Amino acid sequence: MAPKKNPREFFSKGRERCSEQCNERINDSAVFKQVTSKVLKEYERVIGLWNQYAEDHAQDEPSPYKVKFLKDFVKEIAFGIDGAEGDPNPARGTVMLYWKQFMAGWRREHEAIPANITLSVTNFINSELPEILKQEGKIRLVKSKRLRRFGTKNHFVHLGHQLWGNDWVEYEKPATRVYDWADYMAIVCSSARIGEYIEYSCRAGFGRGLYYKVRSIERPIAAYDGVLISALFCGPQDVTFGVFRNE
C-alpha cells in the first residue's frame, strides 16, 4: 500500500499533471442539469404565469423571495387548474408540479430562491392549501384522481387464458403465439423489467438509447449415427440473434 501524501504533495502531484492549465471552464457561472427542450418550454410557461401574477398585483410589488407572495401565487395556480378524469377539482400533484417547475425555471434566469422559503411553500401546499381551497372556494385539493392504468396479476392471468384458450385468430406460423407469450413473460416477470427499461431509455430528446443489434449465423450441420447429414434447424437459411445494449 502506497504511503499517504500530505496536502502539499497531493496538490503538487496535480500540478505535475498540468491541472493549472485546465481552467477554461472554471468560473463563477452556475451549472444546471441538462434538460430537453420540452422541459424548458414548461419552465417558460410557468414563469409566464408568475409574470402575469406580478402584473396583476403590481400595486403590492410581489417578490418571489417573499413567502407571502409565493403562497398567494400557488393558491392562484390551484384555483386556475382545470380538473381531469371527470373531476373538476385540482390535484395536489399538479399544483406541486407547477411549483417545482417555477423554482427550476426561476433559478436558471435569476438568483435561486432560498431553500428555507421554498421548503415553507412546499409545506404550505401539503398542509394549509387544501383547507384554504375548501373554505374559500368550496373545492378540494385531491391527492389522487387518476384511474388505475397499470396491469395486475389477475390481468396477466386473464391475458394468458385469452391467448391460449379463447383466441380465434389463426396465425400464419404457430410459433408466433409462443413468441408473443414469451415477450409478455419477459416484460412482466423479468427482474430487469425489460419493457419499463425500454420505455424509460427511449424518450425523445433523452440523449440515451437502447440499441438493438442483429447478427445472423449459418445453420449448423449435424450427422446422425454417422450416416445422415441434416440441418439442426429447419426453415430459414440462418438464425437471427438480437441483443439489447444500453449506451
Sequence length of the chain is: 247
- The single residue listed with the C-alpha cell 403590492 is 60
Q: What is the pLDDT of residue 209?
A: 55
**Measured between alpha carbons, how far is 15 from 247 in angstroms, rounded to an integer?**
33
Beta bridge partners of 245: 211
Q: Which residues contact 238 (CB under 8 A, 6 or more apart)?
A: 216, 217, 218, 219
61: Cα within 13 Å, side-chain hemisphere: 0
Range of the domain at 225: 207-247
Q: If you search the block for the grid coordinates 481552467, which residue do you land on?
A: 23
Does residue 131 lie in a domain region? yes
Number of domains in the chain: 2
146 lies in a domain? no
**Does residue 227 form part of some domain?**
yes
Cβ atoms of 139 and 131 within 8 Å: the answer is: no
Q: Pick from 113, 137, 161: which residue ends a domain?
A: 137
Under DSSP, the state recorded for 85 is T
Q: List the grid coordinates of 36.
A: 430537453
Domain at 41, CATH number: 1.10.150
Residue 52 counted as domain residue:
yes
Asked if 91 and 144 count as a contact pair (C-beta separation under 8 A), the reply is yes
**Residue 87 counted as domain residue:** yes
pLDDT value at residue 236: 47
Please give the grid coordinates belonging to residue 214: 442483429
Indicate whether 132 and 218 sit together in one domain: no
Q: What type of residue is 171?
A: Y
Q: Among 137, 154, 175, which residue terminates a domain? A: 137
Q: Choose the final residue of a domain: 80, 110, 137.
A: 137
CB neighbour class for 112 (10 Å; exposed up to 12, middle 13-18, buried from 19):
middle
The answer to whether residue 40 is domain-embedded is yes
Q: Would 151 be classed as within a structural domain?
A: no
DSSP assignment of 121-162: HHHHHHHTHHHHIIIIIS---BS--PPP-S--HHHHHHHHHI
- Predicted local confidence at residue 30, as pLDDT: 86
In a domain, residue 154? The reply is: no
* 8 A C-beta contact, residue 197 and residue 210: yes
Sequence letter at residue 113: I
Tens of each residue's pLDDT in the chain, 247 residues = 678 888 998 889 888 888 888 778 888 888 898 888 999 999 999 999 999 999 999 999 999 999 999 999 999 999 999 877 777 888 899 999 999 999 999 999 999 999 999 999 999 999 999 999 888 777 888 887 566 666 778 888 899 999 888 888 888 988 898 988 888 887 777 655 666 666 666 666 655 555 555 555 554 544 444 444 444 444 444 445 454 554 4
Do 37 and 127 fall into the same domain?
yes
